[in-house]
Amino acid sequence: MVGSEVNVTGKFTGTVFIHFGRTTAGVPTAGVTFRIEAAAKGSGAGEWMPLTSVISNIIQCSTSTNVSTSGVAQTVASGTGFNPQDIILIADGTVANSEWARLVSVSGAVLSMEEALVNAHTTGSVYNKAEMYAIPLDLSSVGRLRVVADGSAHNQSFVCEAYLNTLDSVTSS
């Protein structure tokens, strides 16, 4: 998956935030590589160069079915395999409503999270062993930026999202 390119001309620095979650409970054969690529020119194809990359863990996840959401608690059909400190993917029936969260406790089928979710989840599934990355970048000599999620060696389906925050001015008084 190749993400949308972003013009970062005039930006000093930035951080790319990536959420990643497996949506298959089997054992993966390889990780997913997230490449952050830059182009010096303002436009044109074939100008992409790798700045940095991260590779997801090769780990099996557990899954359960969403039942209900209440504040900071997600009730699932079974909490087996879920543990405190797990990062979970709440894969909603509407993909755009999916979310990531960190568990603070598990009691039976109730998963308690650090923060309340934005959306109510009563369809879809919950997967543990999700991952989050924050990658700081020097953008002072970059024209465009994009994120590539290369799952070509990964034998499972997954969901990911990436965001970029930038710094474009500094003032002093």
Q: In the chain, where do the E strands start and end?
A: 6-7, 13-22, 33-39, 49-55, 63-70, 73-76, 87-91, 99-107, 110-113, 125-127, 131-138, 144-150, 158-167
What whole-number percentage of the chain has pLDDT above 90? 66
Q: Is residue 167 over pLDDT 90?
A: yes
**Residue 91 scores a pLDDT above 80:** yes
Q: What is the pLDDT of residue 41?
A: 76
Q: Work out the angle at residue 148's Cα, subtended by the Cα atoms of residues 147 and 152, and round it to the nearest 5 degrees.
A: 165
Mean pLDDT of the chain: 91
**Radius of gyration of the chain from its Cα atoms, rounded to whole angstroms:** 18
**pLDDT band at 21; cut points 50, 70, 90:** very high
Is the confidence at residue 16, as pLDDT, over 90? yes
DSSP 41-55: SSS-TT--EEEEEEE
pLDDT tens-digit readout, 149-162: 999 988 889 999 99
Task: Give per-residue pLDDT as tens, 95-131.
Answer: 788 999 999 999 999 999 999 888 888 888 999 999 9
pLDDT in tens, 22-69: 999 888 889 999 999 999 877 777 789 999 999 999 999 999 998 888
